[in-house]
Amino acid sequence: MHSGTFTGYQAASGFLRELLDELGLSGASGPGHVVLGDLVFTVNRAKPAGWAQNTWLDARLIPAPSIGQAAKALKDMQRNWWVHPVRLARRSALVTEKLPKVSARPQVFGEPAPTAPLGAWTLWNEGWLIASPACTSPYPDGLPQFVEDRESAPSRAYLKLWETFTLVGVAPKPGELCLDLGSSPGGWTWVLASLGARVFSVDKAPLDPRIGAMRNVDHCLGSGFGLDPAIAATPEKPVDWLFSDMACYPERLLTLIQRWLDAGACRNFVCTLKFQAETDHETARAFAAISGSRLLHLAHNKHELTWILLR
């Protein structure tokens, strides 16, 4: 990787092992890859990686024998850069001071994701830096921040939906029908109802009373697994969206989603794969293999991935 371009994967915080397993790699280095902190660089072209918080699409080694030369090399490529310091934190900070300032301010939900190119870089050693002018995320380190609503939402789970809708640029429209499976206490239901969608909420536990009282929310006490797609909708009149943030084994969630897909009963899906002690890579790969879908680790995910299918 001393010449040409290569790919860099920034592991979601605490999940470097999961990223390496997903990429089929092991060890700090090997044929065609090297690990630098939480960054995994490979000579292969970029491929979707759910456990990557951000992917550096066009990484290359650049001579940087001095702080000034490092800053100049970056500015000669483009304006906006975000440093991901792994080594030489003080030297990285000195280079950053010579670059145009990039803000990481929280955004208000509903604002579109940034469109300006944002490159990522890190120091390899005192004489070289690694930089990529193009990344998969428009956010610093792939971590969007929002101005939080600490009054209306019953839990912080709503941030996962805010992030999802912002990243994909699509959200339920007023009047669309959304199923929210495993909805209690109602964070996702609150987001959907606030957008003007009609929400049919299902959980064995009740919703927060404030959420249950919203005029476009109907709540059913029961299991999300008990809802028969053949009864809930038809291919001629499908549900607009199915959401699931249920605490269940990913394999069981996959079986549920396959039933809905086979029945043609829903157009769009947003589901959380919540892993237990071990990461179920096999089931994650099965979700990722569903045509047209995306699997990603949101900034607001824990030991979980979010699966998205929009049609």
Q: Could you list the active site residues? A: 274
DSSP string, 49-64: -TTEEEEEEEEEEEE-
User: Checking DSSP bridges between strand 128-132 and strand 119-125, what pairing results, if any?
Assistant: antiparallel
How distant, in Å, are the alpha carbons of 171, 186, 279 from that of 215? Answer: 19, 14, 39
3-state SS class at 23: helix
What does the chain come to in residues?
311
Look-up of token digits 């930089």: 131
Report the C-alpha gap between 120 and 122 in whole angstroms. Answer: 7
Which ranges constitute the DSSP H helices of 47-176?
A: 67-77, 89-97, 158-168
Contact 284, 301 (CB under 8 A): no
**Strand ordering across the sheet containing 239-244:** 217-221, 198-203, 177-181, 239-244, 266-274, 304-309, 293-296
User: Checking DSSP bridges between strand 304-309 and strand 293-296, what pairing results, if any?
Assistant: antiparallel
